[in-house]
C-alpha cells in the first residue's frame, strides 16, 4: 500500500523502527554481559537468556550474580561512598547533568532496546519512558546543587540496595538512582531478571558521564540474588518496587536490621467516571490507564467504576474503542499494545481471566501468531468482592462495575487492600475535588491518568507500600538527620518493691484511658508503682491484647478528627498546654516522686512539655503542602494528609515530655493515637487523662494504655486497622514491630535501641511532622485543548 492509498483508506500502515543499533550494542559486548562492579565489567559467568517477548528470540545472555559478586559490589559502594558524599553538591550535580545529557543523546538507542527487551510499544518507550528518565536526572541534578543550602541538616544514608521491576526497567532505575546519587549515596542496583539490558546500557553511559568507580554498581540475576542484597549486613537502605507479596517478605527480612526501607508495591486502582464526565475523553484516558504498557503498570486503572445512568452507553463506546486498538510488533510505531513480558506472565493472565465470572469481552482485534500477546479485555457484571475486583492481574484486563451516588463510589473505590492511585472523571470540579481527598490512594488524577513527574511525589498507602519517589519528599528516603542517634539506649526498669512498704494514705489505682473514658484493664491485673525511696505511689493497669483492640476501635471511631480544621486542632492543643500549665506543680511533684530526680529537672520537663504542646498547636495549621511545578498545563498538589491511626510506645526516660512529644504532632495533623505510657513511670500519663478531659479532646482521639511495652506493641503492630507504629521504648522492640507490621505493610518509626534527647531539637520538629503525615499528590490538568 502506497502513501496516497493510505490517505484514501485511512488505514494504518506499518512504521517499523530499526533494531540495528541496539543489536550492534549487544554485539559490541559479544552478546554476553557480566556484572558492572566498581566501574568495570566482570567476565560473564553462569548466564540466563534475555528474550524478546514479541518473538521469543534470544537478545543476549546475562550473568547470574552470586554471593561473591554481591559482596564485591557492596564493598565497592561502601569504599566509594564517603568520598562521593563529601563532594560539594555542585560536583555531584555536574555528574547527574552529564547523565541526563547522555541519555538524551542516546534516547533512540534506549527506547529501542527497552521495547526489544520488555515488549512495550516503541511509542511509549520513546515518548514517555525515556523523556521521564531524562527529566529525573535533570531534576535531581538540581537537587544535588541545592542540597548544601536547602538540606543543611541532612546527610546521605550510605549504601543503597535497589531492586526494580520489569515493567518500567529504565524509568524505575532513574526513579531510584537519581535521588540516591544526588544526595551522596552509592548504589547497588538489581534490575529484573526478564529486563536487564537497558540497565546494562546505562552502566556504559555512567562511565562516560564520569560517575566514579563504585558509586553505581549493577548486578543481575534472579530473586535469590535480590535476597542476598536485601539481607546483606553492609547495606544501609533497601528500595524495592514490585509485588506486594515480595514487599511483605522484604519487610520481614529487614526487620530489626536498622536498614531504611521504602516499598512501592501493587495496586488495584479505581477509575471513577461520573455521569457528567466527557465520555469520549474518559474512554481515551481509560485506554492509557489500563492498556498502556499492556496493563503491566502498578497504578493501572484496572477497576472501572462508572455511574449507573451512563454505564450502558459507556460500555458500548468502550468496546468499540477496544476493537480499534492495534496489537503487534512493539517496534512498529503504529502499534497501541505490545507483548506481555514473558510466557509465565501470559499464562498467569490467561488463567485469571478463564477462572472469572461476569461477562468477558475480548477486543475484536487480530493477534500476532507468535509472541506473548493477550487481547485487551473488559469484564463486567462482577461483584465488589470478586477475586478479579480485588486482586492485581497485571495485564491488559479491565474489570468494571457501577455505582449510583458519590458516596457509593468512594466506598467501592476504597474497598481494596491497596492504595496506590485513583482516577476521577467529572466536568464538575467541585465534585472531583470533593472525591479526591476521600480516596485511599497516594496519587489521584482528575480528568487524566498516568501523569508522572520528578517534581511530584509518587507512592502508595495500605498494602501498596510506603515512602515517596520524586519531589522534596522523595529525598527524605535517601537522607537522615546529621549526627544520628549513635548513643545506645539502656533499658530502664521500674523501681523495685522495698522490703518495708510505706503506703499512701489513700489507695489509688490508675485505669486505662480508652475512648475518652477511664477503663479497667481487661485482664484484671495491675502493677504497683514505687518511688526510689520505697513509697507506694499507686497502681497502674496492665493492658493486654483485648485492651489494644478496644483502643484501636475507639481510635477508628474518632475518624472525624481527621477532617477537622487545623485551626480547631491548634485551639485544642493550646488548651492542653494551658491546662497542663495550671497543674504544673502537681505534675512536677509526680515526676519527682517516680524518678527521684531533682526539682529543677522535673520542673524543666514540665515546662518543656507545655512548650511542646504550644509548638504543635502552632504547627497544626502551618504544615503546608505544596503546588508542584510540573511541565504541563495543570497543577500537582502535594497534600499533607494524616496517616490515620498511630500506635506509639512512649519513651521511658522522659515520662511526661516523651508522651507529649508523641501526642502533639499526631494530634496536630489529624491522627488518632494509641500510646503506651512510660513502662517504669506511667503515672504522669495517667494524670494526663484529666488534661485531655478538660481540653475538649474528642473521645477516641487519644487513648493511653499502661503496662508492658512488648505485650502492647505486638498486637498494635499486627493490627490491620493501625496505619503506623512508632517506638521509642527503652526496650528495643524494633525487630518485633517491623516484622509484625508486614501484615498490612504499615509504616514504622523505631529507635533501633538508640537514644534520643527529648529536651533538645531531637525531640520535636519536622521529622515528627513528616512521620505524622502521608503525602497525597492530586493532579488537576486545566485548559481548553
> Any idea which residues carry the catalytic annotation?
264, 298
Task: Specify whether the CB–CB gap between 543 and 524 falls below 8 A.
Answer: no
Cα separations in angstroms, 726 against 281, 308, 413, 534, 693: 44, 43, 29, 32, 24
Interaxial angle between packed helices 169-182 and 107-118, expressed in degrees from 0 to 180 and rounded to the nearest 10: 130
Task: Specify whether the CB–CB gap between 715 and 232 falls below 8 A.
Answer: no
Q: Copy the grid coordinates of residue 547.
A: 485492651
How buried is 396 (Cβ within 10 angstroms: 0-12 exposed, 13-18 middle, 19+ buried)?
buried
- Which runs of E-coded beta strand occur in 678-732? 702-705, 724-727
Locus of grid cell 500477546: 373
Closest CA to 593 of 508, 671, 676, 474: 508
Question: In the chain, what is the greatest distance between 2 CA atoms, to the nearest angstrom?
Answer: 107
Q: Copy the grid coordinates of residue 63.
A: 550473568
Interaxial angle between packed helices 244-254 and 223-230, expressed in degrees from 0 to 180 and rounded to the nearest 10: 30
Distance from C-alpha of 111 to C-alpha of 126, rounded to nearest angstrom: 5
Task: Specify whether the CB–CB gap between 683 and 701 falls below 8 A.
Answer: no
Q: For 702, phi and psi rounded to 5 degrees? A: -125, 125
* Positive or negative: CA dihedral 328, 330, 331, 333: positive
Q: For 110, phi and psi rounded to 5 degrees? A: -65, -45
Closest CA to 675 of 712, 641, 642: 712
Our measurement of the distance from residue 101's CA atom to the centroid of its chain's CA atoms, rounded to an integer in Å, reads 29
Task: Specify whether the CB–CB gap between 1 and 15 falls below 8 A.
Answer: no
Distance from C-alpha of 401 to C-alpha of 385, rounded to nearest angstrom: 11
Amino acid at each position: 500500500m502506497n502513501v496516497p492509498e493510505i490517505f484514501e483508506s485511512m488505514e494504518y500502515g506499518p512504521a517499523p523502527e530499526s533494531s540495528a543499533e541496539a543489536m550492534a550494542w549487544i554485539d559490541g559486548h559479544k552478546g554476553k554481559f557480566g556484572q558492572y562492579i566498581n566501574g568495570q565489567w566482570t567476565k560473564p559467568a553462569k548466564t540466563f537468556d534475555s528474550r524478546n517477548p514479541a518473538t521469543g528470540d534470544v537478545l543476549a545472555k546475562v550473568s547470574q550474580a552470586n554471593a561473591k559478586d554481591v559482596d564485591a559490589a557492596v564493598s565497592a559502594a561502601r569504599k566509594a561512598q564517603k568520598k562521593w558524599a563529601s563532594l560539594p553538591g555542585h560536583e555531584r550535580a555536574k555528574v547527574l547533568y552529564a547523565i541526563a545529557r547522555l541519555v538524551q543523546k542516546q534516547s533512540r538507542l534506549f527506547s529501542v532496546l527497552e521495547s526489544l527487551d520488555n515488549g512495550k510499544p516503541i511509542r511509549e518507550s520513546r515518548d514517555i519512558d525515556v523523556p521521564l528518565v531524562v527529566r529525573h536526572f535533570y531534576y535531581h541534578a538540581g537537587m544535588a546543587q541545592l542540597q548544601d543550602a536547602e538540606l543543611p541538616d541532612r546527610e546521605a544514608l550510605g549504601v543503597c540496595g535497589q531492586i526494580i521491576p520489569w515493567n518500567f526497567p529504565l524509568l524505575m532505575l532513574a526513579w531510584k538512582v537519581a535521588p540516591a546519587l544526588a544526595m551522596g549515596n552509592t548504589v547497588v542496583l538489581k534490575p529484573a531478571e526478564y529486563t536487564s539490558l537497558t540497565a546494562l546500557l546505562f552502566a556504559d553511559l555512567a562511565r562516560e558521564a564520569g560517575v566514579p568507580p563504585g558509586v553505581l554498581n549493577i548486578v543481575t540475576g534472579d530473586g535469590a540474588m535480590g535476597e542476598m542484597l536485601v539481607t546483606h549486613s553492609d547495606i544501609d537502605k533497601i528500595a524495592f518496587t514490585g509485588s506486594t507479596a515480595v514487599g511483605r517478605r522484604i519487610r520481614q527480612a529487614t526487620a530489626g536490621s536498622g536498614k531504611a526501607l521504602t516499598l512501592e508495591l501493587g495496586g488495584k486502582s479505581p477509575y471513577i467516571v461520573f455521569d457528567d464526565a466527557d465520555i469520549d475523553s474518559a474512554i481515551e484516558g481509560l485506554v492509557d490507564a489500563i492498556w498502556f504498557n499492556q496493563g503491566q503498570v502498578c497504578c493501572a486503572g484496572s477497576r472501572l467504576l462508572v455511574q449507573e445512568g451512563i454505564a450502558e452507553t459507556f460500555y458500548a463506546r468502550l468496546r468499540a474503542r477496544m476493537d480499534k486498538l492495534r496489537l503487534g510488533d512493539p517496534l512498529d510505531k503504529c502499534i497501541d499494545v505490545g507483548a506481555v513480558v514473558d510466557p509465565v506472565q501470559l499464562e498467569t493472565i490467561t488463567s485469571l481471566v478463564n477462572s472469572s465470572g461476569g461477562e468477558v469481552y475480548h477486543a475484536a482485534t487480530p493477534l500476532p501468531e507468535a509472541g506473548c500477546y493477550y487481547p485487551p479485555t473488559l469484564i463486567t457484571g462482577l461483584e465488589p468482592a470478586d477475586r478479579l475486583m480485588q486482586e492485581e492481574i497485571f495485564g491488559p484486563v479491565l474489570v468494571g462495575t457501577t455505582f449510583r451516588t458519590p458516596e457509593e463510589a468512594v466506598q467501592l473505590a476504597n474497598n481494596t487492600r491497596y492504595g496506590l492511585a485513583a482516577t476521577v472523571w467529572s466536568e464538575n470540579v467541585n465534585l472531583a475535588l470533593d472525591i479526591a481527598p476521600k480516596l485511599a490512594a497516594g496519587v489521584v488524577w482528575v480528568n487524566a491518568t498516568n501523569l508522572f513527574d520528578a517534581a511530584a511525589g509518587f507512592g502508595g498507602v495500605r498494602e501498596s507500600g510506603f515512602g515517596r519517589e520524586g519531589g522534596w519528599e522523595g529525598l527524605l528516603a535517601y537522607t537522615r538527620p546529621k549526627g544520628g542517634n549513635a548513643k545506645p539506649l539502656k533499658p530502664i526498669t521500674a523501681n523495685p518493691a522495698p522490703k518495708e512498704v510505706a503506703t499512701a494514705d489513700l489507695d489509688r489505682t490508675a485505669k486505662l484511658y480508652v475512648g475518652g473514658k477511664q477503663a479497667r484493664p481487661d485482664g484484671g491485673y495491675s502493677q504497683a508503682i514505687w518511688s526510689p525511696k520505697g513509697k507506694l505511689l499507686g497502681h497502674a493497669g496492665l493492658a493486654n491484647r483485648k485492651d489494644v483492640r478496644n483502643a484501636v476501635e475507639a481510635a477508628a471511631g474518632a475518624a472525624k478528627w481527621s477532617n477537622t480544621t487545623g485551626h480547631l486542632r491548634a485551639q485544642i492543643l493550646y488548651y492542653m498546654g494551658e491546662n497542663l500549665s495550671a497543674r504544673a506543680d502537681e505534675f512536677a511533684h509526680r515526676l519527682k516522686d517516680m524518678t527521684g530526680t531533682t526539682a529543677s529537672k522535673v520542673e524543666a520537663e514540665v515546662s518543656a512539655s507545655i512548650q511542646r504542646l504550644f509548638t504543635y498547636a502552632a504547627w497544626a495549621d502551618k504544615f503546608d503542602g505544596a503546588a508542584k511545578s510540573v511541565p504541563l498545563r495543570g497543577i500537582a498538589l502535594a497534600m499533607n494528609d494524616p496517616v490515620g491511626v498511630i500506635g506509639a510506645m512512649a519513651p521511658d526516660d522522659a515520662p511526661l515530655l516523651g508522651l507529649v512529644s508523641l501526642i502533639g504532632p499526631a494530634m496536630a495533623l489529624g491522627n488518632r493515637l494509641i500510646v503506651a505510657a512510660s513502662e517504669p513511670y506511667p503515672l504522669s500519663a495517667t494524670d494526663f487523662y484529666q488534661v485531655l478531659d478538660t481540653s475538649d479532646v474528642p473521645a477516641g482521639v487519644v487513648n493511653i494504655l499502661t503496662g508492658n511495652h512488648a505485650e502492647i506493641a505486638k498486637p498494635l503492630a499486627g493490627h490491620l486497622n493501625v496505619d503506623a507504629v512508632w517506638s521509642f521504648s527503652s526496650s528495643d522492640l524494633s525487630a518485633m514491630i517491623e516484622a509484625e507490621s508486614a501484615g498490612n505493610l504499615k509504616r514504622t518509626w523505631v529507635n533501633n535501641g538508640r537514644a534520643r534527647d527529648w529536651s533538645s531539637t531531637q525531640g520535636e520538629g519536622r521529622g515528627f511532622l513528616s512521620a505524622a503525615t502521608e503525602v497525597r499528590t492530586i493532579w488537576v490538568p486545566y485548559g481548553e485543548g
